Amino acid sequence: MSGNTPNILTTANGAPVADDNNSISAGSRGPLTFDNFRLMEKLAHFNRERIPERVVHARGSGAYGTFTLTKDLSDYTIANFLQGEGKETEVFVRFSTVGGGQDSSDYARDPRGFAVKFYTEEGNFDLVGNNTPVFFLRDPSKFPDFVHSQKKNPRTNTPDASAVFEYWANHPQSLHQSTILMSDRGIPASYRHMNGYGSHTLSFWNDQGERVWVKFHLKTDQGIKTLRGSETAGLPAYGAQEDLVNSIDAGDFPSWTVKIQIMTETEARTYRYNPFDLTKVWPHSDFPLIEIGKMELNRNVDNYFAETEQSAFTPSNLVPGVGASPDKMLQARLLAYPDAQRYRVGVNHQQLPVNAPKCPVHHYQRDGAMAGMVKCPVTGHAANQGSGANFFPNDRAAEGAPVPKPSVMEPPMPLEEDAWVGYHESRDEDNFTQAGELFRIMTEDQKNQLAENIAGGLSQASESAQVRMLEQYAAADVDYAARVKKAIEALKA
């Protein structure tokens, strides 16, 4: 007898299956017997097909591609993937909606996640951004409250516009981002037709130990395309997923022009806005966009669950030359994401092919569920580090035991002068100027769309929430408030 050929149906342990349509039973009408362990394997595995969906950004689409550097950045950073024009780095990108579960629609009025994993030669760098340059919060302690208010009502299990506005009425720092969300940009027509933003301030540092602050922007080469709420009604829930897969399959590869803004540490100390406040942009007139590369998506995933669902992006995936910043939101995200992924995918999620770095990984972490899933692509060692030393310091450097590389030490992060540890209230920060500036550059049609989109939800909120929201809009621009008020009255008429 010869062994299995690829077309032989087997159990998970590789044994050929004689009959996959009928269970073993005592007689043709009889009950099942204990030797149905092949049936049990099938049912038991089926029972475990789901992993927890992401607590936010549950619904998404992923694809692979290439980032090509068009401007050498060695003056600013030692980051390996940013050295030398023409340098190419493989990427995996996952787009998502935020609030809806996996059962929701691709066409919600919702920010879109835009997460990019750069598989660099010195580890994975993840830019875990959105299609908006700012966010609803500047303090992470509000993230669970904010998300609860935007997701389903705990009793009815349906979306709750009144809770959405109740939260915003109590939280004016959301105004800039909610203005973007409620504008004509609030529903991208597809993932290909939207920009991406790293949103946070990150840092670059060079071989002289000099640091600059940076923001990443990815500008769609397909052009921005959006939908009005009324246009989404008849669209299939999975339309954006289908659009991405079909365009890549057809060889129509979407691309983005990658740009950065740079601010020096000296400029940051005196700039009129807190450069680490995620509710604010750095105006391009003060910090112009500098083009640094092109990102193209050119390969679909082969298996959605293995690659897209189990992909794990985290802002803490940083590489030498790219660092965090004092942004409080970013600081919290550095801890929150790997924690979520240990729960959602497992403690060894970084060993899965989509998450594993393409460079050698050498450390003293060991074991845990599913340890050893992949081998190092370069050394061929099992990911659980084979028989290598499992403690440090040791006397085994000559045998290849990993040692730290002091040359990649990040320069010390500056703190505010006379910084005091405590709860620092930011309620009185300027929450309105940039929202007003955004409103004023909108066309007449965009202003009206904004007012009507807001009125649809705000009219369902309490009188008190409506009053406080109108005060916020007026603080941004009196015309903004007037238009929203008029749109609400038109709905009541």
Smallest separation (angstroms) from ligand HEM to the CB of 298 = 19
As measured in angstroms, the least distance from the Cβ of 306 to ligand HEM is 14
- Catalytic position from the list 4, 45, 47, 57: 57
Nearest to ligand HEM of 199, 325 (CB atom): 199
* Burial class of residue 162 (count of CB atoms within 10 Å of its CB; 0-12, 13-18, 19+): middle
Where does this chain bind ligand HEM (CB under 6 A)? 54-57, 60, 94, 96, 113, 115, 128-130, 135, 140, 143, 199, 278, 311-313, 329, 332-333, 336-337, 340-341, 344
Cβ neighbors of 486 (< 8 A, separation 6 or more) are 451
Q: Smallest gap, in angstroms, from Cβ of residue 18 to ligand HEM?
A: 41
Q: Which residues of 79-88 are buried (b: 16+ CB within 10 A; e: fewer)?
A: bbbbeeeebe
Which one, 316 or 390, has the nearer CB to ligand HEM?
A: 316
Tell the smallest beta-carbon distance from residue 64 to ligand HEM (Å). 14
- Residue 2 and residue 224: Cα distance in Å, rounded? 58
The active-site residue out of 80, 124, 130, 384 is: 130
Tokens found for residue 51: 């992993």
List CB contacts of 198: < 8 A, sequence separation 6 or more.
Answer: 127, 129, 215, 216, 217
Structure-block tokens of residue 292: 């640094």
Secondary structure of residue 102 in the 3-state scheme: coil
For ligand HEM, give the closer residue by CB, 80 or 314.
314
In the bound state with ligand HEM, the residue whose beta carbon lies nearer, of 211 and 349, is: 349
* Closer CB to ligand HEM, 258 or 376, in the complex: 258
Shortest distance (Å) from residue 96 CB to ligand HEM: 5
* Token pair in block for residue 218: 């990815």
> Considering beta carbons, is residue 434 or 459 the nearer one to ligand HEM?
434
Give the residue closest to ligand HEM by C-beta.
Answer: 113
The question of whether 349 is a catalytic residue gets the answer no
Shortest distance, position 17 Cβ to ligand HEM, whole Å: 35
SS (H, E, C) 170-236: CCHHHHHHHHHHHCCCCCECCHHHCCEECCCCEEEECCCCCEEEEEEEEEECCCCCECCHHHHCCCC
Radius of gyration of the chain (CA): 26
Q: Which pair of structure tokens corresponds to residue 175?
A: 């105004």
148 is catalytic: no
- Which active-site residues does the annotation give? 57, 130
